[in-house]
Structure 1
Amino acid sequence: MAALPQAQQPPDDARPGLPRGARLGVDVGMARIGLAASDPDGLVATPVETVPRVLATPGKQGGSTGKQTGSQTGSQTGRQTGSQAGRSAQGTTADVARIVAEAAERFAAVVYVGLPRHLSGKEGAATADAREFAARLVVALAATGERAEVRLVDERMTTVSAHQALHAAGRKTKKHRSVIDQAAAVIILQSALDAERAKGERAGELVEVETVHDTHE
């Protein structure tokens, strides 16, 4: 069976200003989540696994508000409600918990989550879903003491590129479904690694979650 495609390794030069540490790449889908990881130097993205998606049912949490900030280009801050982002460690869904476990095992410095904007740059339902997932991931990482950052990176055309990469690797189209999410995660992560290398700083929007107290009964 043909091997899952792996990103091409860039020249081995240092990333100024960035500490060592593995990076994770996450492709959030409605049914499945693709997971990829890099080496500690952040040179090459490789596939890890496909994680079944668990769609969380928002409830009254009254605990946290998630916000995303554009650390590089002054992106606008996006806020999310406590019912979206404010989930306790006990309420963490299995898919989020799996990514947190992988981050802990690899001592990950950053988790890059793909942000599926429209080609026009506008955001839709899938974008909101990715933002909500990223915010829950921040909460879960903090609850377990992990210091990995969560950052959102543009993933327009990622799925198309993933299918093309699988074709190039000799994968039959009917077998794409089992690995397409991993391939997309590899592309998301490698794009972020390439951006790190080019700019000497983390890629994308930093996701932060600030804790607030609900004053209403």
Structure 2
Amino acid sequence: MTLEELAASTPPGTPWLGLDLGEKTIGVAASDATRMIASPLELVRKTKFTQDAEHVLKLMDARRASGLVIGLPLNMDGSEGPRAQSCRAFARNLQRLREVPVAFQDERLSTTAVERFLIDELDLTRKRRAGVVDRTAAAWILQGALDRLRDAGVR
């Protein structure tokens, strides 16, 4: 579904989670209940799909999150490669476990932007960046979706 459809299908006053699906980890971020601000939440080390999905669903329950925004790693020309297909498969398989409203957000260059921020603004070493990049990228992705909706006048 589109971000606009996600907003229309989830109750107002409920937060969303944002996911940055990597090969080895899942960065997780959460919005506030007003869906104005996204914050890094957690880094999940991937194991098996069912365990990973159950962990995400538990985080949704704990936060009373009503929807998910998943980063979609498009190629620079806008086409979808294997990583984007993997993200779509994760969403499809997650919805087999539970009906969860999901929208995708273009995440091109999100990790690069986050790494630059962590280096330039926070002066984090490579070792310290490793623990925060994916969850911060998830917040970057979710914040981009929230900003896009706000700019379009959608709440």
Q: TM-score range by the shorter chain?
A: 0.7 to 0.9
Distance 1:134 1:201, change over 3 A: farther
Q: Which of structures 1 and 2 has the larger relative contact order (alpha carbons within 8 angstroms, sep 6+)? A: 2
- Aligned partners of 2:154, 2:89: CA distance in 1, in Å? 24
Contact 1:100–1:140, Cα closer than 8 Å, also in 2 = no
Equivalent AA in structure 2 for residue 53 of structure 1: K
Higher helix proportion: 2
Q: Tell me how far 1:174 sits from its aligned partner.
A: 2.7
Distance 1:200 1:109, change over 3 A: farther
1:29 is aligned to: 22
Task: Select 1:178's aligned residue among 125, 131, 135.
Answer: 131
- Aligned partners of 2:75, 2:13: CA distance in 1, in Å? 33
* TM-score where L is the length of structure 1: 0.63
- Aligned partners of 2:54, 2:117: CA distance in 1, in Å? 29
Once the two structures are superposed, residues 134-187 of structure 1 have per-residue CA deviations (whole angstroms, 9 ceiling, x without a partner) of 112222233xxxxx4111111000110110121112311232111111111010
Q: Which 4+ runs in 1 deviate beyond 6 A?
A: none
- Percent identity between matched residues is 34
| 1:13-24 alignment runs, 5 A limit | 19-24=12-17
Q: Tell me how far 1:55 sits from its aligned partner.
A: 4.8
| 1:66-145 alignment runs, 5 A limit | 93-142=50-99
1:165 is aligned to: 117
Once the two structures are superposed, residues 2-23 of structure 1 have per-residue CA deviations (whole angstroms, 9 ceiling, x without a partner) of xxxxxxxxxxxxxx97722101
Q: Secondary structure at the match of 2:93?
A: helix
Once the two structures are superposed, residues 56-84 of structure 1 have per-residue CA deviations (whole angstroms, 9 ceiling, x without a partner) of 4xxxxxxxxxxxxxxxxxxxxxxxxxxxx
> What are the ranges of 5 or more consecutive residues in structure 2 without an aligned counterpart?
1-6
Question: What is the aligned-residue RMSD (CA, Å)?
Answer: 1.9
